[in-house]
Structure 1
Amino acid sequence: MEGNQAGSSLDSLIASFNKRIGELQELVIARNMYPASTIPDLSAIDTALSSMELQVQSIKDRLREETEAIPKAKKLIEASLKQQGKLQKMSIYAPSHFPDKATMLNSDLNRCLLQENAKQYEQHSTLSSLKFDEEAAVLPKEKKGRGSPPLWYITVEELNSLSSYMRGRLTLEKVNAAINDMASYAEANAHLIAASKQKLAENLWEKALKLRDIVTEQAVKGKHFFLETDMKGPSLKLDNTGKAILTVLRHLGRLSETRIGQNRVIILMKPH
């Protein structure tokens, strides 16, 4: 497009030159008739022609630079399109956000850990020893080295394989964000199970005892799990959408469920 415009400009300049040449010829004839009066006019024409020559040369230089830059611009556009395609493919499988697991732990737990640790330094060493003995009697022998909770995201193909009735309005981003939440719940519960009593507040200690009773059951032993009551967001909540997400993930083999006492326990599955 720029080349066509430059060519059109050159045609206009050529036409202008031809017109000026014709005028110059007329002035030459007139000079022979009136030599003294035509000198200023010829000087003005010479100046105008010199200016036009400079403009034409500038246009040629600019046109040459733009022509040389076209192949580089084409290569840059091709590379950008390839990179855009790669990023679009990657974004399909990535959840909308990756929350930090540490920040997802119960804020009350973190605050109480600091408060209780400060109090323990002020207590007598013998009292601390007694509490440690009491804790040792309560803590179940849990298998060490369980590792981090699994983050087994679903793919577009898996989501599309579901029936429209089961899939509903769920999107890949919503489901994978919920998987992040479930891993955070399971990790918070693992912290409660492993923490000693002197590091927990009374309200968290009650939940820790309940989790320690659950973890001794054969169905959840050595596995990462969370309770239905843990579903408090930010992405997974105990509402209709949250229940639909659990149904989809159970169907896709990402989790299993069991009931222990009055607690509905959701167990995270690992990739095969």
Structure 2
Amino acid sequence: MSDLEDISRHFHEKLWSLQQILDLSVVELPQNKMKRLGQELCGLEGLLEELERCVDEQKQQLKNLKEVRDVYQQALQDVQHMKNNMPPHIPRKKTVVNGNEAGKDSVDSQPAPVENLKKSSRNVIKEMGFITTPEFEGIPQYMKGRVSYEQLNAAVSSLNAAATAKYKIFHQSVKGLSNHARKLHQRFKDQETKETKGQFFVVEEDIREFTQMKVDKRFQGILNMLRHCQRLRELRGGGLTRYLFL
């Protein structure tokens, strides 16, 4: 900007000088004065070209700045959209409990006894993995129907909630359960078979018991998609359909 101002100032000085010479043109000028007038005009022409070049550079810089501004504003809108539409199934940062990250032992904690480790591993409840965008796009359209990506993963979340609630009761001692929970515990045991040993599964009764998800025709379509994505498989027997988590 200072270069453009310097050229403009110099340009105006030259114009003033030429104006002075032209004011004296009413009288006959000596040869050396006429020669100087020609030099001033040539210099002024050069200044005009330099001024035009600077103006063009400033216009290009302004255009570049506007493009950068547009890119920044678009990026800001995209980030805001991502923030406002964050899928609920994306893993969140672990909460901190008593200064330690949840799920991690404190520095001075003692190693857990082997018995406790075995018990903890037995009580770990397997959850179904959420569907990724490429997986969803790979599902045939006739199978997806009107189910959106978000709705499919919401169903995954509900199935995981049903499994968590079921096995939380299943892994507890019957003595500490309420009457209703004891009935559920017995039902869970009755539904176990040799094929389901060590597996995690839910049935339609579990979904009705522990979630708000409707078990209807649309639900059957969602199950087809989850089977297609290898998230579960069906095991039938005893008049019951078990949905095993893979």
Q: TM-score w.r.t. structure 1 length? A: 0.48
Residue of 220, 231, 234 corresponding to 1:257: 234
1:238 aligns with 2:231: no
Equivalent residue runs for 1:195-234 within 5 Å:
195-215=172-192, 217-232=193-208
Q: Aligned partner of 1:231: which letter?
A: I
Equivalent residue runs for 1:169-180 within 5 Å:
169-180=146-157
CA separation of 1:79/1:94 partners in 2, compared to 1, >3 Å: closer, same or farther?
Answer: same
CA separation of 1:156/1:88 partners in 2, compared to 1, >3 Å: closer, same or farther?
Answer: farther
CA separation of 1:224/1:80 partners in 2, compared to 1, >3 Å: closer, same or farther?
Answer: farther
CA separation of 1:90/1:219 partners in 2, compared to 1, >3 Å: closer, same or farther?
Answer: farther
> In the aligned structure 1, how far is the partner of 2:138 from the partner of 2:184?
39
> In the aligned structure 1, how far is the partner of 2:146 from the partner of 2:206?
23
Equivalent residue runs for 1:124-163 within 5 Å:
144-145=121-122, 147-163=124-140
How far residue 262 of structure 1 moved from its aligned partner, in angstroms, is 3.1
* Number of matched pairs: 159
**2:243 maps to what in 1?**
266
How far residue 91 of structure 1 moved from its aligned partner, in angstroms, is 8.4
Q: Aligned partner of 1:244: which letter?
A: G
CA separation of 1:203/1:145 partners in 2, compared to 1, >3 Å: closer, same or farther?
Answer: closer
Structure 2: state its 5+ residue gaps. 1-61, 92-117
SS in structure 2 of the partner of residue 231 of structure 1: helix
> In the aligned structure 1, how far is the partner of 2:211 from the partner of 2:77?
30
Contact 1:185 1:226 in 2 (8 A): yes
Deviations, residues 51-100 of structure 1 (Å, cap 9, x unaligned): xxxxxxxxxxxxxxxxxx998886565334235446667988835899xx
Query: Which deviates the most, 153-162 or 247-256?
Result: 153-162
How far residue 210 of structure 1 moved from its aligned partner, in angstroms, is 2.2
1:166 aligns with 2:148: no
**1:81 maps to what in 2?**
74
**1:193 maps to what in 2?**
170
SS in structure 1 of the partner of residue 126 of structure 2: coil
SS in structure 2 of the partner of residue 256 of structure 1: strand
Larger helix share, 1 or 2: 1
Aligned residues: CA RMSD: 3.7
**1:94 maps to what in 2?**
87
- Over 6 Å off, 4+ runs: 69-74, 89-93
Deviations, residues 205-258 of structure 1 (Å, cap 9, x unaligned): 12211212334x332222322111122375632111111101110121011111
CA separation of 1:169/1:214 partners in 2, compared to 1, >3 Å: closer, same or farther?
Answer: same
CA separation of 1:266/1:227 partners in 2, compared to 1, >3 Å: closer, same or farther?
Answer: same
Contact 1:255 1:267 in 2 (8 A): yes
CA separation of 1:235/1:213 partners in 2, compared to 1, >3 Å: closer, same or farther?
Answer: closer
Q: TM-score w.r.t. structure 2 length? A: 0.52
Contact 2:207 2:213 in 1 (8 A): yes
> In the aligned structure 1, how far is the partner of 2:80 from the partner of 2:200?
32
What's the % identity of the aligned pairs?
Answer: 23
> In the aligned structure 2, how far is the partner of 1:191 from the partner of 1:75?
54
> In the aligned structure 2, how far is the partner of 1:235 from the partner of 1:177?
11
Q: Aligned partner of 2:74: which letter?
A: L
Equivalent residue runs for 1:49-128 within 5 Å:
75=68, 77-85=70-78, 94-95=87-88
Query: Which deviates the most, 74-83 or 159-168?
Result: 74-83
Structure 1: state its 5+ residue gaps. 1-68, 99-140
CA separation of 1:148/1:196 partners in 2, compared to 1, >3 Å: closer, same or farther?
Answer: closer
Q: Aligned partner of 1:229: which letter?
A: E
CA separation of 1:203/1:268 partners in 2, compared to 1, >3 Å: closer, same or farther?
Answer: same
How far residue 161 of structure 1 moved from its aligned partner, in angstroms, is 2.4
